[in-house]
Structure formats: C-alpha cells, structure tokens
Amino acid sequence: MKIVFVADPLESLDPSIDTTVGLMHAAQDRGAEVWITEARRLEAVNGRPRALARQVRLAPSKPVSGHRWSVPEPWFDAGAPQHLRLDDADAVFIRTEPPVDETYTNALLVLDLVDPTRTAMVNDPRGIRVCSEHVMPLSFPDLIPPTALTADPATIRGFLTEHGDAVVKPVDGFAGHGVLRLSRHDPNLASLLEISTDNGARAVLVQRYLREVGAGNKRVFVVGGEPVGAVHRYPAAGDFRIGNPTAEAPITVRDKEICARLAPHLERYGIRLAGLDVIGPYLIEVNVTSVGALRKADALLGWTLCADLLDSVLATPNRRR
C-alpha cells in the first residue's frame, strides 16, 4: 500500500505540530509505504500523472504537554528521489499550504489526471479549486456575519459606518497572515485600506468584528460531511487573531446545523476533510486545502483524528483493493 503526500518541503515541516506529519505517522503505523513530494515536483507524461518523490520513514513520537509531540532528531529518514506514478498510489493527500498560486494550481491540474475510483484523493483537486476557503461561506449568507467582498475602499468605509469595527482578510490568505482589524475612528484607516486593497486593485473580505471571539474561535473538524470533533482556540496576548487549540469544544446544535447545510456542497466537490472556523453562531471560514490542527488536537486531548481520517479514506468503497 502506497500513500503519497503532496506537501511543503519535508525539512520545513514542524513534526511536533504538523498535521501532515501526523497523517504520515498514521499511514506508517498501518504498514503503508509513505511517500512525500512537492507541488513543483508533479508532472504528466503521456497523460499519466507522476511525481518526483521520496519514500520516508518516521522516527517514533509521543505527545507531551500542551498541543505538541516529542520528536527525536533526526525525525525522519528519506530515500533518494525517484519518479512515482500517482495513479499507482492507494491515496494522495494534498497538503500544500496556501496560497493557491500558479504552482499550486498547476499541481492541481496534474492531480486531475489521477483516477479517483482507483486512488483516494484528499481533497479532490477540482474541489480545492472551486471551494475558496474565504469566499465559499458567502453562498450561505444566513450562516455568516455581515460580510463584503470588495476592492473598493469606499465600500469598506461604508461597511465600517454601518457595522462598526471590522476584520479585513486577503482572499487567498491563510493562518492569519495579512488579517487586520479596522475601526472607522483609526487615524491610520486610509493607509490600512491602501495596504490591504493595494490601492483598490485587490479584493479583500471584510467581516463585522465579532465580540464573541473573546469566548474563543471554534475549529470543527468535518470528515465526510460529519463533525468528528472540535477545539477552542483563543487570541494570543496582544493579538486579536486566533492562536493554538487549548481545550475541547462542544459540538452544538448550531454547529450541526452548519455542517448539515455544508455537507451536500462538500460532497459535490469531493471535500473529504474540512475545518470549519466558527465564532459564536457564525461560520467564518471553510478550510479545505491543508486543513490543520488535527495533530495538535490529538496531542492535547488524546484523540486519534489523524488515524481516524486515514482509516476512513482507506475504507472508501470504490478504492482499489
């Protein structure tokens, strides 16, 4: 059995927290060959997708205090790069971090050539292209806070006049990079709008600032359209953005309603794994690219999210035996 991970450079991953590493451990524990490659290493020859990949063996790790794992140094041993046909793999996990730039998009086009009836894809490359993490929630206006997608500073000023404080995010952003909190009374507002919209040339997402964030941002892990666990994350001291998971969070009736509404959409686009960010009653983001925090939650709470996800993927009925 071969499991391939399309990820960022192996040496750049933090094995004490990275979900990709947790999934690799789960695959290795099940006797699978673990292979890793990068988006720029994918290609198609005569219509068949392949990757320049390395087979990896991971050193044992164990949870320690908080959300981290103890790992030895070196934490992996990797073989020499060799060409591997992706349609010979049992599963391909697409774990490259955003932004979904030209290199990322080109890799998804190669992955389109993988037969999903033979090789499980997490997530479907077509779905990753369609399901923008920040924009997809706009299809469900009753689930989200007041939101605007615009490049026009005047529209953002009008939004602030109507709703008070707001959060502005790059459409292709991730992990809080480039996220700003705006106030109509901020003397720096004009400059912040120039920076965030590139002088009106780049669209951004603007959402009403939610006071409920003081009670935590909830990450709901969704597998096959069903919520399988949730964790609370709180802003770090001196930063309004969200930090690491700190405690288990209950899955509320509202959370289940949000998941039920999104489930047909996720299934339609082959999104097996999603991470929903929820503040109070509001859906904020739908993470579908390199969904994180699973390994952190496993360490923090003694869960087995990484292993459970791998098992659910390998148990897919149409996967080749």
Residue 31 domain flag: yes
Of 226, 287, 293, which Cα lies nearest the Cα of 22?
293
CB 55 within 8 A of CB 78: yes
Residue 130 domain flag: no
The model's pLDDT over 266-309, given as tens digits with 9 standing for 90+, comes to 999 999 999 999 999 999 999 999 999 999 999 999 999 999 99
Supply the CATH number for residue 167's domain: 3.30.1490.20
Angle CA 93–16–54, to nearest 5: 45
Residues 239 and 292 in one domain: yes
Helix-, strand-, coil-residue percentages of the chain, each rounded to 5? 30, 30, 40
Residues 180 and 197 in one domain: yes
DSSP string over 249-279 = ----HHHHHHHHHHHHHHHHTT--EEEEEEE
Instruction: In whole angstroms, give the CA distance from residue 55 to residue 2.
Output: 10
Residues 290 and 268 in one domain: yes
Residue 135 domain flag: no
Residues 199 and 221 in one domain: no
The model's pLDDT over 166-179, given as tens digits with 9 standing for 90+, comes to 999 999 877 678 89
Please tell me the total count of domains within the chain. Answer: 3
The model's pLDDT over 11-58, given as tens digits with 9 standing for 90+, comes to 999 999 999 999 999 999 999 999 999 999 999 999 999 999 999 999
Judge whether residue 319 has pLDDT over 60.
no
Residues 118 and 9 in one domain: yes
* Mean pLDDT of the 140-162 span: 97
* The predicted structure's pLDDT at residue 320: 47
Residues 220 and 202 in one domain: no
- Domain of residue 76 covers 2-122
Q: Both tokens of residue 215?
A: 């009670």
Judge whether residue 183 has pLDDT over 60.
yes
Residues 196 and 257 in one domain: no
